[in-house]
Structure 1
Amino acid sequence: MTRGDVAGAAPTVTTGLGLYDATAAAASSVVIRRYSTSFGLASRLLPAHIREHIEHVYALVRVADEIVDGPATEAGLDPTLAGRLLDELEQDTERAMTIGFSVNPVVHAFARTARTTGFGAELTQPFFRSMRADLTRSEHDDASFVDYVYGSAEVVGLMCLRAFVYRAGRPTFDEAVLVTGARRLGAAFQKVNFLRDLRADFLELGRSYFPGVDVRSFDEATKARLVADVQDDLDAAARALPLLPGRARPAVTLAHALFQELNDRIGATPAERLVTTRVRVPDPVKAALAARVLVGRAPVPRVRRGNRPGGTA
């Protein structure tokens, strides 16, 4: 093989483990570019060595999500078989984090990141537990919702935080504010996605994530309460932004700004329309937010206590 054999990659070696590492990294990079404009855009503001770790985390999370969501069903998998594949993916992930190799390029890349930045099964096990819940639970109560959001989103924030702060393979922080910020930002991302996918989750996947919320009777008061809850998470995450290393701060600031914009738009959308239309941030608005971050004029996250679109705190 030569350098040109791996699309999108520029490995420094053409044989052996180095080439396999580079190929696995290239595969993960494709996943984030194909699946997420927001995270893909924000990740481009990271230095290459950190961006690679974020791409590795995103790719594994996305592959697991595809097992429990539409693509696996479209391929003819029933929940039992999907659960078996998810179990196998988790086992492969834990083994790769231990031995440093997997025949699955996405798992291999993820394991390299886990081993380099210093996390392991304490974060992957809650994640896979939440993915497994999508195969067995169609509605959540308060306790299961908290557990699901932690495993599906907050631990992903903690994985990314490890990538932002490690040096020489060792974590370099013990700031509770950073940990809280990473968890709350992950929770905000997840809850916003739940809000804008209300109809698809209910009608196509048969799921209702928010406890006690019935999509068929979704109203302005319910929407305002959920938007305010997301805002509380975004506010908590904003307090951690100044503590992030400078090399990571622009990317996380942009991600925060994109989801702040999305939450504002959801808040300004009538409840009856929210259950029929998927709210999104137009590409020109995303580009404008990115440009402001790049020139050092990032939107200042604001801790608001009232006058939120669609309701009050």
Structure 2
Amino acid sequence: MSVAADTSFTHFTRTAERAANQVISAYSTSFGLACRLLGSRHRQHVRNIYALVRVADELVDGVTAEAGLSYQEQCDALTHFIAETHRAVKLGYSSDLIIHAFAQTARTAGIDDSLIDPFFDSMRMDLGERSEAPAAPLRFDSDAHDGYVHGSAEVVGLMCLRVFMRDENIDDGDAAALEYGASRLGAAFQNINFLRDLADDTTRLGRSYLGTSDHLEDRDRMEWVSTIRAQLADANAVIPMLPRDARAAVRSALALFQALTDRIEQTTVDELYRHRVRVPDAVKAGLAARAVASTWMELHR
């Protein structure tokens, strides 16, 4: 059955969105759960953002290498992905379904180069710089860590914030507070994932995002836990400033990462280097339910 010419673009865009949804289903049950708590006007846009970020992340995290691409070919693949993203945001179309879906969201929510470029800068950092394999392990000092976290996570939080606030009228002070909270939440999520992924990052990818030493100590773990708790607290403080139909989802995601932080605090560094800390699905569901209940009570006081 053919699609009428005047609806072909809409049909293509809906297909692109379904592709984005499949990326989330395949890679993150936790993020998918939080997205379901978003209001319908936000839900697909956030899924579109996640899909682009995930595909780019997979590109630099081993998929291209396992496909047999040389280092230069991996760099070329990322360069092509970046160029196509910019082209799609400018034109409103890409033959790449994931990029096309993201471009619709970017154009709707005002996600521009000030957020897109730092993200891709961090993806380039993951590939590192080398002339031939094998590469030396990548070790991020404090400045490199902060720059990487800004691009890989803080700007993603800011992209989502632009989706949430696209129809809102707020003053500069509130906007600055929300941007700070979104950045802090993104940073917390990334730092937690660095601790969760110590084993994979170290053994498979040869990366050390949390310092230049060969092996973290338990005191380092506790310092990062303290940093993360402060970041989560700053993010939690601005949730009541979000639109009503975004609060439960953000609370749910924040609660999940608080639970992960609690588990990391009780897990030695040696254990973190052996396995990834997880929260059981039943606990995730309970956290989501409490986030919904908390938001309902907040809105009906």
> Would you say same fold, with TM above 0.5?
yes
* Cα distance in structure 1, aligned partners of 2:186 and 2:154: 5
* Cα distance in structure 2, aligned partners of 1:24 and 1:171: 30
Please tell me whether residue 186 in structure 1 is matched to residue 178 in structure 2: no
Q: Which residue identity is paired with 1:254?
A: S
Where structure 1 has 5 or more consecutive residues not aligned to the other structure, the ranges are 4-11, 301-313
CA offset digits 1:102-154 (Å, max 9, x no partner): 11011111011011001211111110010011111611121111110000000
Structure 2 equivalent of residue 132 of structure 1: 124
What secondary structure does 1:240 align onto?
helix
* Cα distance in structure 2, aligned partners of 1:147 and 1:270: 27
Structure 2 equivalent of residue 6 of structure 1: none
Where structure 2 has 5 or more consecutive residues not aligned to the other structure, the ranges are 130-137
Alignment of 1:208-227 (within 5 A): 208-215=208-215, 218-227=216-225
Structure 1 equivalent of residue 17 of structure 2: 25
Q: Which residue identity is paired with 1:56?
A: N
- Contact residue 293 and residue 299 of structure 1 kept, 8 A: no
Alignment of 1:22-171 (within 5 A): 22-136=14-128, 138-167=138-167
- Contact residue 248 and residue 295 of structure 2 kept, 8 A: no
Q: Which residue identity is paired with 2:152?
A: S
Structure 2 equivalent of residue 296 of structure 1: 294
| Cα distance change on mapping 1:178 and 1:37 into 2, 3 Å | same
Q: Which residue identity is paired with 1:32?
A: I
- Contact residue 289 and residue 298 of structure 1 kept, 8 A: no
Structure 2 equivalent of residue 264 of structure 1: 262
* Cα distance in structure 2, aligned partners of 1:223 and 1:257: 20
Structure 2 equivalent of residue 201 of structure 1: 201
| Cα distance change on mapping 1:130 and 1:294 into 2, 3 Å | same
| Cα distance change on mapping 1:131 and 1:173 into 2, 3 Å | farther
| Cα distance change on mapping 1:298 and 1:228 into 2, 3 Å | farther
Q: Which residue identity is paired with 1:71?
A: V
Q: CA deviation at 1:232?
A: 1.3
- Contact residue 140 and residue 210 of structure 1 kept, 8 A: yes
Q: CA deviation at 1:299?
A: 12
Q: Which residue identity is paired with 1:24?
A: A
Q: CA deviation at 1:293?
A: 2.1
* Cα distance in structure 2, aligned partners of 1:288 and 1:202: 32
Q: CA deviation at 1:163?
A: 0.7
Q: Which residue identity is paired with 1:111?
A: A
Query: What number of residue pairs does the alignment pair up?
Result: 288
Structure 2 equivalent of residue 304 of structure 1: none
Q: Which residue identity is paired with 2:186?
A: G
What secondary structure does 1:69 align onto?
helix
Structure 1 equivalent of residue 239 of structure 2: 241
- Contact residue 289 and residue 299 of structure 1 kept, 8 A: no
- Contact residue 13 and residue 19 of structure 1 kept, 8 A: no
What secondary structure does 1:211 align onto?
coil
* Cα distance in structure 2, aligned partners of 1:144 and 1:298: 41
* Cα distance in structure 2, aligned partners of 1:258 and 1:298: 19
Structure 2 equivalent of residue 306 of structure 1: none
| Cα distance change on mapping 1:299 and 1:190 into 2, 3 Å | farther
Instruction: Point out which structure has higher relative CO (alpha carbons under 8 A, 6+ apart).
Output: 2
Structure with the bigger percentage of helix? 2
Match of 1:229 among 227, 251, 262: 227
More deviation in 42-51 or 150-159?
Answer: 42-51
- TM-score, length basis structure 1: 0.87
Structure 2 equivalent of residue 285 of structure 1: 283
Aligned Cα root-mean-square deviation (Å) = 2.1
- Contact residue 28 and residue 109 of structure 1 kept, 8 A: yes
CA offset digits 1:153-204 (Å, max 9, x no partner): 000000000111112xx87563211000000100011111100111110110
Structure 1 equivalent of residue 253 of structure 2: 255
* Cα distance in structure 2, aligned partners of 1:252 and 1:66: 24
Q: CA deviation at 1:37?
A: 1.1
Structure 2 equivalent of residue 9 of structure 1: none
Percent pairwise identity: 47
* Cα distance in structure 2, aligned partners of 1:171 and 1:114: 19
